[in-house]
Amino acid sequence: MTAVKTLVAVMTLMLLLGLGLLAYGMAQQSSKLGQPEGDEVRPSAVGSLSVFNTLALDEPAGSSVAGVTTDGQGRALLTITGGGRPDRVVVVDMAEGRRLGVVTLDGRYGYEPSSNR
């Protein structure tokens, strides 16, 4: 009977030690929550946003930005709606402040960006 009590006590201590280590590991990793991993954000691209002051997208009047996301490679993807055109996504190089292209679902309404960008 003593051997069983000793075994239960040792197993209880091991279980508590394991739970303590698990809690410690979670606390250490919680400081990394919300931070990008690896190459998701390049400091050189984000840090150089001050290279340009204004970026003209040459969108028609009535257009509005419905959303902005980044691709992790220094490009911003702007979802543009309205302006008499179908919804579109404008791809912008954040480091150089220039429009790279436009993605539309209907090629009939597509347009070429002017060459002065």
The string of pLDDT tens digits covering residues 74-88 is 899 999 998 888 889
pLDDT at 25: 92
Q: Say whether pLDDT at 22 is over 90.
A: yes
> 3-state secondary structure string, the chain?
CHHHHHHHHHHHHHHHHHHHHHHHHHHHHHCCCCCCCCCCCCHHHHHCHHHCCCCCCCCCCCEEEEEEEECCCCEEEEEEEECCCCCEEEEEECCCCEEEEEEECCHHHCCCCCCCC
Domain coordinates in residue numbering, the chain: 1-32, 43-109
pLDDT at 51: 53
